Structure 1
Amino acid sequence: MVPTPDLVPRRVAVQVDAALADTRVVLINGARQAGKSTLVRVVAGDRLAERRDLDRTQDRAAAIADPVGFVDSPELLVIDEIQRVPELLLAIKAAVDEDPRPGRYLLTGSSRLFGMVAAPDALPGRMETVELWPFSQGEIDTEPDGFIDAIFALGPDLRHESTVTRAGYAARIVRGGLPEATTRDDPRRRQRFFDAYVQALIDRDVRQLSDIQHKGELRKLVRLLAARSATIIAANSLESALGLSRPTVARYLQALEEIFLVKRIPGWSRNLGTRATAAAKLVFVDSGIAANELATDARALLRPGAPFGPLLESFVLSELSRQLTWSEQQADLSHYRDQSRYEVDAVLENRAGRVVGIEVKAATSVGLDDFRGLRRLADRLGDDFIAGIVLYTGTATLPFGDKLRAMPVSSLWQVPAPA
């Protein structure tokens, strides 16, 4: 039984609390219904605080009519969905410049605030942004979620055994991590939730960000992206399928990313003596949405020809993205592909230039060919290459050469960070 959303501790809560202690404005940014309001209640705790919600008509009207009066508060002021009235940022800037105490404002937003045309770039040096994703698997299962810190610390010495089956991974993919979806055991009820969720984003949030003239084509675009999850996406490859111009497709892709429906994983390169692709891969922020767009359930996902592999890769990339928001190791996530078609699904590079490469395989067994891209990366990087990991649906950690290991996918959330 999955705990109710109100009771699931969020790992980024510590970051938000620390930011309020030394920063004037803190913004929690993330997808709608990812748990921002619950996190705010937990973090605000016993603090004296006022709260306003710009999704409410009366609050929004007051904010537009009198921005300065709206943000005037002697205590912590919580403002939900700040992207609804981005002009408030100028009033907040004036307030925190006059009274620079930390912890003045706690904001939440459901779109990338400074990607919005209407948002003034008003708070440099005054605001810290914390990104909140849907639940990680570790948050749902009360597991440590420490893989990134562990692999950078231990490299190929990291070991993990797992009892999670392929069917278990399929069930996790279709469930996703949106709090409301995790409480719905009936697949049909979960489907209704996902359908309504995506439609609401298109009808309300995307319209706020972009001039959408073809809502039907935008809905079709979401389904096309789900079918191409974890692949390199270029706007020109979608033109003919949608019957839209390349600039329009590019604008729609940007809008979907800014509302946290999808995320681009950039191409990784270094001066390795060979050109690497700069094109980005695209994954869904929540794997449950992607699976629902493809009308697949956990049982269907295990059948031959089902998109288990791409959805598993997207699932892994989104779990890594979640974990990077709280890991001690500060690293960037990208993917690698060169002109010789050597590929690595995920590349984690820390600020010291040390690299961990990760491949994702839906099979329960792994062979030498599965390490082809990782060996290429290891040869090019030399001592900067910490480890190459193939995450697979088997149960054991297996050696495949110097610094190369196969590990169960569940190591992502079941492995603890080093003390």
Structure 2
Amino acid sequence: MDTVGQLVDRRIVDVALARLSDEPVVLLEGPRTVGKSTALRELAQRLGGEVLDLDDPATRDAVAADPSTMIQSDSPIYIDEYQHAPAVLDAIKARLNRSTRPGQFVLTGSARHESLPAAAQALTGRLHRMTVYPLAQAELEAARPDLLGRLLAASTAGESRASTTSRQDYLERLTCGGFPLALARRSESARNRWFDDYIRLTLERDVRELSKVRQARALPALLERLAGQTAQVLNTTAAATATGIDPHTARDYIRLLESVFLIQLLPAWGTTLTSRSANAPKIHVLDPGVAARLLRLTPDKLARRDPTSLTQLGHLLETFVVAELLKEASWMDGIAGVGHWRTYDGVEVDLVIERDDGGVVAFEVKAAGRVPGDDFRGLRKLRETLGDAFLAGTVLYTGERSYTFEDRLHAMPVDRLWTAE
């Protein structure tokens, strides 16, 4: 039985196994300590083959010195943290020139592939990328709900059992996040120390490995300002001004922070639907636990009923739900795109997920315990705009009941993302 600090996203392992039957190279990329190495070892245990851990200096030096020799094997080769010796990609490319049989290599990386100049071109067309996110709540509960899958299949249930998740439980889940090593900490103070160390080391080590940062001291302050924008439309100028750097530099640093999986930009979706569709991305801190720590938000602070606390709770809950749905989408085939929809006249939908055939499901997130009709405004407008391509719109809220509000519009408790009906 795994301890929480050793948990791995089992569905990522299962999906990777399936993809290896078709792809010569699979790349698992995501934040440090998210479980990529654990997944890699599990794949090696199931399929056989050798693991090369490039976090180990001796192994890294050997691979950098003679990558071709190090990857000579009839069995699959597993390379952990390949970005430490990107020259290995040229050796992999040379081997693939001789044979493109599936299942030859599995790589892991803690930086987005396109952020490495040499790596971005070496395996174009031969590399299948999979994002490994922090653990989903469903993984923590050992559950396999299929809310997104059923909505994409235009299949939803009517009434279901009432949610038993308390408001306090939601607040604990928001501030704990999904990193296995953070979840393994037994106290809030110990977990906060882990978050502080994780953020500091990522900024000091991973960001600097990717780029020569001219104003490194500004990075922590910029990240905190961006965390304050989580679940909101990105305002680079405001973050730059508050940090004391110019907007051009801020844009470069935002790309770096996204490259090391501290933040993610959710693109505008449906910019051609109407002339009023906006095209600015929303920003989310990748893990809500990291966001909460950057903003110094605790369950007690979020439990307050003052306007500031309620606003912060709303933003953090949206980041949490978007992360959970993107994790579920990452396990699925047939996803054409994800994004948020917003018009210049104030109509918005928090998350839109589109199938390959153009079918769309959409989500709004509300921190309240009830859903008034006006909360369906954006979903109703999107349904009207898309017609039959609109499969379902769901308001996820902190109340108890699931119900259909009107045609293809539903309200469901947030915990339907990890609990069965």
1:332 to 334, 337, 340: 337
Instruction: Encode CA deviations 1:330-388: one digit per residue, 9 max, x unaligned.
Output: 24221111111111111122122122221100011110111111111111112221222
Aligned pairs for 1:268-347 (under 5 A) are 268-269=269-270, 271-304=272-305, 305-306=308-309, 307-347=312-352
Aligned pairs for 1:6-405 (under 5 A) are 6-8=6-8, 10-155=10-155, 157=157, 159-160=159-160, 161-269=162-270, 271-304=272-305, 305-306=308-309, 307-405=312-410
Give me the TM-score of the superposition, normalised by structure 1: 0.94
After the TM superposition, which of the residue ranges 192-201 and 323-332 deviates more from structure 2?
Answer: 323-332
User: How many residues are aligned here?
Assistant: 416
TM-fit CA distance, 1:159: 4.6
TM-fit CA distance, 1:13: 1.0
TM-fit CA distance, 1:8: 4.8
**CA-based RMSD:** 1.9
Preserved contact between residue 8 and residue 38 of structure 2 (Cα < 8 Å): no
After the TM superposition, which of the residue ranges 296-305 and 260-269 deviates more from structure 2?
Answer: 296-305
CA distance in 2, matches of 1:270, 1:277: 6
Instruction: Encode CA deviations 1:238-259: one digit per residue, 9 max, x unaligned.
Output: 2211111112101111011111
Give me the TM-score of the superposition, normalised by structure 2: 0.94
CA distance in 2, matches of 1:280, 1:237: 15
Preserved contact between residue 34 and residue 133 of structure 1 (Cα < 8 Å): yes
TM-fit CA distance, 1:3: 4.2
Q: Secondary structure at the match of 2:352?
A: strand
CA distance in 1, matches of 2:415, 2:3: 20
- Unaligned 5+ runs, structure 2: none
Preserved contact between residue 2 and residue 182 of structure 1 (Cα < 8 Å): no
After the TM superposition, which of the residue ranges 189-198 and 265-274 deviates more from structure 2?
Answer: 265-274
After the TM superposition, which of the residue ranges 294-303 and 194-203 deviates more from structure 2?
Answer: 294-303
CA distance in 1, matches of 2:405, 2:172: 29
CA distance in 2, matches of 1:382, 1:85: 50
TM-fit CA distance, 1:155: 4.7
Preserved contact between residue 365 and residue 392 of structure 1 (Cα < 8 Å): yes
Preserved contact between residue 207 and residue 257 of structure 2 (Cα < 8 Å): yes
Distance 1:7 1:339, change over 3 A: closer
Corresponding letter in the other structure for 1:344: V
TM-fit CA distance, 1:326: 0.8
Q: Secondary structure at the match of 1:124?
A: coil
Instruction: Encode CA deviations 1:135-159: one digit per residue, 9 max, x unaligned.
Output: 0000001111411101122455455
Preserved contact between residue 158 and residue 403 of structure 2 (Cα < 8 Å): no
Q: Secondary structure at the match of 2:358?
A: coil
CA distance in 1, matches of 2:46, 2:230: 43
Distance 1:103 1:8, change over 3 A: closer
Distance 1:155 1:237, change over 3 A: farther
Aligned-pair identity in percent equals 38
Instruction: Encode CA deviations 1:139-182: one digit per residue, 9 max, x unaligned.
Output: 00111141110112245545543111211111101010001011
TM-fit CA distance, 1:270: 5.1
Distance 1:76 1:295, change over 3 A: same
CA distance in 2, matches of 1:142, 1:104: 30
Q: Secondary structure at the match of 2:121?
A: coil
Corresponding letter in the other structure for 2:227: A
Corresponding letter in the other structure for 1:283: H
After the TM superposition, which of the residue ranges 329-338 and 176-185 deviates more from structure 2?
Answer: 329-338
Higher relative contact order (CA 8 A, sep 6+): 1
TM-fit CA distance, 1:195: 0.3
After the TM superposition, which of the residue ranges 111-120 and 166-175 deviates more from structure 2?
Answer: 111-120
Preserved contact between residue 150 and residue 415 of structure 1 (Cα < 8 Å): no
Preserved contact between residue 154 and residue 392 of structure 2 (Cα < 8 Å): no
